[in-house]
Amino acid sequence: MGIDRAFWGNEGFTPVYYLNAANRVDINNYNRAQNQGLNYIFQNTLSYAKVFGSHDLNIVVGTSAEKSGGQGIGGSIQDIPVTRIEDASLAFPTPAESQTFWGYEYQGTLASYLGRLNYNYKSKYILSATMRIDGSSKFGSNNKFGYFPAVSAGWVLTNENFLRDNTAINFLKLRASWGVNGNDQIGDFRFVSTVGGGRNYTFGLDDRLVNGSSPNAIANPDLRWEQTTQTNIGLDARLFKHVSLTFDLFDKVTSDMLLDIAVPGYVGNAGPIGNIATMSNKGVELELGYAKNFRKMNFDIKGNVSYVVNEVTDLGPDKEFLPGQTFSPQGLEITRTAVGLPVGYLYGYTTDGIFQTQAEVDAYTNADGSPIQPDAQPGDFRFVDTNGNGEIDPDDRGMIGDPTPSWTFGFTGKLEYRGFDITMFGQGVAGNQLFKATRRFDLQMANMTADAIDRWTGEGTSDTYPRLVMNDPNKNFSRSSDFYVEDGSFFRIKTLQLGYTLPRALNNRIGASNIRIYVSGNNLITWTKYSGFDPEIGGGSYGVDRGIYPQARFFLGGINATF
């Protein structure tokens, strides 16, 4: 049983100040909040193990209960007669319009029942079966519980007589598995229409601001667990005493995905969360390793690579796509999710080079001679009329990139020789694209990256970067297009460490049992064609680089000593 009791809060004061006409505060503000939470988990298991001759049996059953809850209150007040936070308080009498107070509570529970059976016959035939029943308070009474079975089997061929004395194949195991996992990672009470505050409005003849509350979203009593069903077929092997091999084929289907449902604006509040999508991931994984001792040298290296095909297979009835990420204050749509395509694919217009001359502009016409891009001039992008309707319009947009890598790979290596050791770890991806959303094209006077120096300035100067003009009549920059999409493949040396362990005689002389000195570097080298700050973008912005601060290269040195 475990209990976590927490108290936290914050306090802030913004005084009146004046730096310049655009950077000033004329009315001070004081805010304060207090919060508390209590989490506990209570787990119980009962196990039974027995060997019956060549049969080895192990059974485990158990229960688990988890609960988390808490509450918080806070407030904000303006224009109080103090200049320091030490003198500030929420108790100062001020007009209601200058006061804001809030409070909240949260609660979540999870009840689970589990069982597992492991069976082993002569270390040759292995069987495992599990069953989980999980009930979550995040779902209504209609679908509160989810049922998640799994089964796996293995066959160790090298324990059979026909491979027992094989010198080339030292170990070989075939295995297969099938199982279902559940996901309830959504907000609390999303299946009901909870009421929230902050919807204040003016009523009456005196136009006084009145506190208001309203439903946060539409209810969905049929909300249920998201499920991921995965099938694996693979093998584990050790060959020629020094080579290790792991191979897997997998088919992973995520169904009843928990996503927000878009509703028309006239509804008046947010749509519910629902089980509205199915996604498939199929692929293969391979890991190879080699380890051997060469007299006083120890050598160990492992490399792995995986290939995956991602596809959305269902979005429910009458649903063509799900909107994704947007960019710029205008809400430019840059990702979508649609059936038959990868999840969160990059979305926009396709370009076909840059008009180099007025003759090329005049030649880009329909059969009747009308221009396809009437606002284009030399130096502008030639946008592709993908639907063939004779003009460039929103219906010409489509998939312009896939943010999900097709290939993921990495390696680790270690070499030891006469007290010296060197360790290296690297990783990378290939087959994915990134949307470089670091350019604020909605701000015409904003700074630009250095590649703008090589823009089109005349015939033949560039076929990839258009001309720069203040009003951008052809919308070269204000359209989401493949101009912003780049290859996201990379390989990076994540860690490189060099160490030296002092000889035993020297350790004994200074009274130590072991001393190791080391230096290491992280994120040392990155090979990539991506022109942004870092191809390994973070910040929860999948496939879209919004200028997230890049990972730092840093160096470390130290001593490990045991006395």
Question: pLDDT for 204-245, tens place per residue?
Answer: 777 777 878 888 888 899 999 999 999 999 999 999 999 999
**Based on the domain organization, do 457 and 361 belong to the same domain?**
yes
Q: Which of 428, 462, 477 is the last residue of a domain?
A: 477
**Cβ–Cβ under 8 Å, residues 159 and 122:** yes
Q: Which of 250, 276, 302 is the last residue of a domain?
A: 276
The per-residue pLDDT for 102 is 87
Query: What would the two tokens of residue 94 be?
Result: 């001020």
**Cβ–Cβ under 8 Å, residues 72 and 38:** no
**Cβ–Cβ under 8 Å, residues 523 and 553:** yes
Whole-Å CA distances, 198 to 33, 96, 104, 489: 16, 14, 12, 45
Rounded to the nearest 5°, which phi and psi values hold at 4? -130, 115
**Based on the domain organization, do 134 and 244 belong to the same domain?**
yes
Burial class of 354 by CB neighbour count within 10 A (0 to 12, 13 to 18, 19+): buried
**Based on the domain organization, do 272 and 142 belong to the same domain?**
yes
**Based on the domain organization, do 268 and 146 belong to the same domain?**
yes
- Smallest CA-to-CA distance from 376 within 399, 359, 389 is with 359
104-140 exposure pattern, b = at least 16 Cβ within 10 A, e = fewer:
eeeebebbbebbbbbebeeeeebebebbbbbbbbbbb
Query: What would the two tokens of residue 179 be?
Result: 């199982």
Q: Spell out the long-range contacts of 6-13 with Cβ–Cβ below 8 A and sequence spacing 24 or more.
A: 6/36, 6/37, 6/38, 6/39, 6/70, 7/34, 7/35, 7/36, 8/35, 8/36, 9/33, 9/34, 9/35, 9/72, 11/85, 12/85, 13/84, 13/85, 13/88
Spell out, as residue ranges, where the chain has pLDDT lower than 50.
none
Residue 241 lies in a domain: yes
**Based on the domain organization, do 143 and 166 belong to the same domain?**
yes
Q: Which of 246, 276, 306 is the last residue of a domain?
A: 276
**Based on the domain organization, do 26 and 128 belong to the same domain?**
no
Residue 530 lies in a domain: no
Domain count, the chain: 3
**Based on the domain organization, do 206 and 261 belong to the same domain?**
yes
The per-residue pLDDT for 427 is 97
Residue 386 lies in a domain: yes
Residue 556 lies in a domain: no
The per-residue pLDDT for 339 is 94
Whole-Å CA distances, 481 to 346, 383, 436, 478, 486: 9, 9, 11, 9, 11
Burial class of 481 by CB neighbour count within 10 A (0 to 12, 13 to 18, 19+): buried
Cα–chain center distance at 400? 20
**Based on the domain organization, do 259 and 127 belong to the same domain?**
yes
**Based on the domain organization, do 370 and 471 belong to the same domain?**
yes
**Based on the domain organization, do 197 and 253 belong to the same domain?**
yes
Residue 540 lies in a domain: no
Question: pLDDT for 17-48, tens place per residue?
Answer: 999 888 899 999 999 999 999 999 999 999 99
Parallel/antiparallel/unpaired status of strands 243-255 and 2-14:
unpaired
**Based on the domain organization, do 271 and 218 belong to the same domain?**
yes
The per-residue pLDDT for 202 is 83
CA dihedral 533, 537, 541, 544 (to 10 degrees): 50
Tell me the residue range of the domain where 102 lies. Answer: 1-50+64-111
CA 159 – CA 481 distance, rounded (Å): 59
**Based on the domain organization, do 83 and 159 belong to the same domain?**
no
Residue 434 lies in a domain: no
Residue 539 lies in a domain: no
The per-residue pLDDT for 441 is 64
**Tokens 């009456």 belong to residue:** 204
CA 175 – CA 156 distance, rounded (Å): 9
Residue 91 lies in a domain: yes
